[in-house]
Amino acid sequence: MSHPLQPVLTQLNRVILGKEKPIRLAVAGLLARGHLLLEDLPGVGKTTLAHAIAATLGLRFSRVQFTSDLLPADLLGVSVYERDSGRFRFHHGPVFTQVLLADEINRAPPKTQSALLEAMEEHQVSVDGETYALPEPFFVIATQNPQHQIGTFPLPESQLDRFLMRLELGYPGHEAERAMLTGEGRRELVAQLAPMCDQATLANAQRDASAIRIAPPLLDYIQALAAATRHHERFACGLSPRALIGLVAATRAWAWLDGRDHAIPEDVQAVFPAIAGHRLLSRASGRPDALAAVELLDTVAIP
């Protein structure tokens, strides 16, 4: 059951109390080289979690507070004319980092949101016809408030699809909340965090996780789940192939975190809601229908 990232999980659980499952999912998402979307009410610890992940993994971190007047150039960088040399020089924006915390991403206008598209998918940024590679690894951890709040621009489906997982933290449990109230402040705690792994360990973990065996019956199950979403009367559209690829990768990462060399149906069920929840939009409301995604797991037989 032991793996090189166990210290990472332990430390994260010390900072964010009582949230083992979302934390494990977040780490699995990063192992699967995916981006994370943390969605919950203000004040439940989204930003703290993002910050703690970056600090614990020992990655370079930058944070951008998305606001309604944030422009793409504020994020990506801008070419500035330099009088001395007589040419334009590109000034790198905050996106050139390893973990980008896009805080309250749904407060920025769609133009700025989609500026992130290329960075997330291609790990590169194109400005003024020039392409700049981003550092590796590159993760976006975005937080957003629930969409019924005032002054938000809901992320378009294309943008949502690029987030491997959407996680909710929820209110803490009684004990955990009490510990939080009596203990040290969370922000101070984050500031003191020491890296619990280096980049080589992370890269190796990612490589090993991607080599976990997925037997044909399990792929049958994953495809059966996808087929169920695509023919379901409650969803406007089913899971995309990209989502399935992400599902397979996350399943492997989950199995790896469990210390196995092969994936089993539990792994699929564990990661499925986080992967499918934000992608399956309700036909009726046009909003993500996370509950229906969970219900699918009970109805689709495991072959």
Partner 1 sequence: MSDTLPSRALYALIAALMMALLPHLLTLPPWLALLIIAVPVWRASLVYRGKALPSRWLRYALMLALLALVFWQFRTLIGRSGGVAMLVSLIAIKLLETHGRRDAAVLTLLGYFASGAMFLVSQSFWMLLWALATAVALTTQLMAWQRRSDRFERDEAWRALRMLAEATPVILLLFLLFPRLSGPLWSMPEDRGGASSGLSDVMSPGSFTNLALDDSPAFRVSFDGEAPPVSTMYWRGPVFERFDGRNWQQLHDDTGVRPTAIAVGPTVRYSMLMEPNERSWLLALDLPVRWPERTRLTSRFQLVADAPLTQRRRVDIVSSPGWHAREPDAVLRRNLDLPASGNPKARALARQWQTLSAPARVDAAQQWLRAGRFSYSLTPPLLPGPDPVDDLLFTTREGFCEHYAGAFVFLMRAAGVPARVVGGYLGGERNAGGDYWLVRQADAHAWTEVWLDDRGWQRVDPTAAIAPNRINQGLAQSVTDAARLPGVLRNEAPWLKGLRQHWDATVFQWNRWVIGYDAQRQMQLLNRLGIDALASMAFIGWFAALVLTLLAGYAVMQRWRSRPPPRDAAMRSWLRFIAKLDRAGIAAYPGETPTALIQRATGALPGHRDALDAIARCYLAARYGEDHAALDELRTRVRTLRLSRAP
The smaller minimum CB distance to partner 1, of residues 50 and 95, is found at 95
The smaller minimum CB distance to partner 1, of residues 176 and 294, is found at 294
The smaller minimum CB distance to partner 1, of residues 161 and 295, is found at 295
How far apart are CB 260 and partner 1 at their closest, in Å? Answer: 7
What's the CA gap between 160 and 25, in Å, rounded? Answer: 17
Looking at the chain, how many residues does it have? 303
What's the CA gap between 122 and 42, in Å, rounded? Answer: 30
The smaller minimum CB distance to partner 1, of residues 184 and 266, is found at 266
DSSP code at position 263: -
The smaller minimum CB distance to partner 1, of residues 45 and 277, is found at 277
What's the CA gap between 97 and 288, in Å, rounded? Answer: 30
Q: Are 59 and 187 in contact (CB under 8 A)?
A: no
Helices (H), 58-128: 72-76, 110-122
How far apart are CB 41 and partner 1 at their closest, in Å? Answer: 30
How far apart are CB 159 and partner 1 at their closest, in Å? Answer: 21
Where along the sequence are the contacts to partner 1 (CB under 8 A)? 123-124, 131, 133, 136, 200, 203-204, 207, 213-218, 260-266, 269, 296-302
3-state secondary structure of 88: strand
The smaller minimum CB distance to partner 1, of residues 82 and 136, is found at 136
Report the interhelical angle of 265-276 vs 20-31 (nearest 10°): 90
How far apart are CB 218 and partner 1 at their closest, in Å? Answer: 6
Q: What token pair was written down for 185?
A: 């402040």
How far apart are CB 228 and partner 1 at their closest, in Å? Answer: 10
For 30, 57, 121, 151, 190, the CA distances from 193, given in Å and listed in that order, are: 19, 10, 29, 34, 5
Torsions phi, psi for 176 (to 5 deg): -65, -40
Kind plus residue range of the DSSP H or E element containing 255: helix 241-257
How far apart are CB 290 and partner 1 at their closest, in Å? Answer: 17
Q: What token pair was written down for 15?
A: 């900072």
* 3-state helix, strand and coil shares in percent for the chain, rounded to the nearest 5: 45, 15, 35
How far apart are CB 288 and partner 1 at their closest, in Å? Answer: 21
The smaller minimum CB distance to partner 1, of residues 43 and 216, is found at 216
